[in-house]
Amino acid sequence: MNSEQHYRAFYITTGWTLGLLLLGSVVHATGSSLACPDWPTCFGTMVPEMTGGVFWEHLHRLVAGGLVLIFMAATYMAWKPEARRPAIRRWALAGIVLLLVQSLFGGLTVLMQLPDAISTTHLALAFLFLALVTALTVVTSPGWSGGSGAGGHLPGLRTLAVSGAVLTFLQSVLGAAVRHMDAGLVCPDVPLCLGQWIPPLQTATVAVHFGHRVTGILLLITLLTLAVRAARSLGPSAARILAISAGVLVTLQVLLGFLSVYTRLAVVPVSLHTLLAASILSVTVGVAVMTWAPGEGSGAASEPADPEVVRHEEVPHGEVPHGG
């Protein structure tokens, strides 16, 4: 196997995971979560009649099974070519463990009849896995040579990318709490909440819902700043494209959040809201990994792999690249 092949396998796994996350969200939004009352079988069989809620729930399980197989295959393909990078092998193995635990949590959501904490954890583990497989895709990509190093020269950009990724994850877990606490419509109005900019935070559901809106705006500001900074300071590169995409996606995401409330949690906007959250996580993790500068303290090169990556003349004040 050459490295190109296992990169492709991780790339496909990332796309597959995004599809599975969308499907999981549809399972909940269509009220199909308990359509199969048992686990791992559905009505005692692996081939139930695919009608009504069983269609979504069992399809989600089958696609989840496919993900485990594809990711195991990608890990197998990466094993030999990555012999000199043991960290990649370790993270791929961690991914397999994470997927198995996640499947167990999927089963628990059914067997325990959807406790809020288990359902929310199911989403959190799904997003963690997505972050992991995205990072594996970036570091196994053919042109990868230990990062562009742009973050080492532009620490502000790296900090923004990492904060954006962490904030997206936390915001998504908060969103899952909103969903599973049935707090999606406790503020039935947008953009106000109960007719006020800051509603009375008397109940946990209003606090969680309002917190999700506030963190959403914070994330919007963070990722728009990242997009503008990257557009101004990076030359043509994947990192630049992804950072700008993060700004576009987060703007659409806020609109979809409002639309979810406005349509009283219609299946299409809430399911797209989950998909977009996952896409933003993938994109910000990608930028964070690409702008990481492993040169500092790790002995790897700290110069940009591509001298075009940093356009020196456009580096913002206070972020002067070394030797620029």
Give the range of 2-10, 77-85, 151-159, 172-180 binding ligand HEM by CB under 6 A. 172-180
- Which residue has 């269509």 as its token pair? 30
Q: How far is the CB of 157 from ligand HEM (least distance, A)?
A: 20
Q: Is residue 64 at the binding interface for ligand HEM, with CB under 6 A as the rule? A: yes
Taking Cα atoms as reference points, which of 303, 170, 319 lies closest to residue 232?
319
Q: How many residues belong to the site for ligand HEM (CB under 6 A)?
A: 55
Q: Is residue 168 at the binding interface for ligand HEM, with CB under 6 A as the rule? A: yes
Count of C-beta atoms within a 10 Å radius of residue 225: 16
> 75: Cβ–Cβ under 8 A, 6 or more apart, which residues?
89, 92, 93, 95, 96
Task: Specify the residue, 58 or 229, whose C-beta has the smaller distance to ligand HEM.
Answer: 58
Amino acid identity for residue 120 in this structure: T
Q: How far is the CB of 260 from ligand HEM (least distance, A)?
A: 5
Q: Can you tell me the distance from the alpha carbon of 148 to that of 288, in angstroms, rounded to the nearest whole number? A: 11
Q: Can you tell me the distance from the alpha carbon of 246 to that of 240, in angstroms, rounded to the nearest whole number? A: 10
- Which residue has 């877990």 as its token pair? 173
Phi/psi of residue 45, nearest 5 degrees: -140, 160
Considering only residues 256-285, where is the footprint of ligand HEM by CB under 6 A? Answer: 257-258, 260-261, 265, 270, 273-274, 277, 280
Token duo for residue 218: 């914070």
Binding mask 12-51 for ligand HEM (x = CB under 6 A): -----x--xx--xx-xx----x-----x------------
Q: Is residue 213 at the binding interface for ligand HEM, with CB under 6 A as the rule? A: yes
Taking Cα atoms as reference points, which of 304, 323, 312, 322 lies closest to residue 145?
304
The residue ranges that bind ligand HEM (CB under 6 A) are 17, 20-21, 24-25, 27-28, 33, 39, 57, 60-61, 64, 67, 99, 102-103, 106-107, 109-110, 114, 119, 122-123, 126, 129, 168, 171-172, 175-176, 178-180, 184, 190, 212-213, 216, 219-220, 250, 253-254, 257-258, 260-261, 265, 270, 273-274, 277, 280
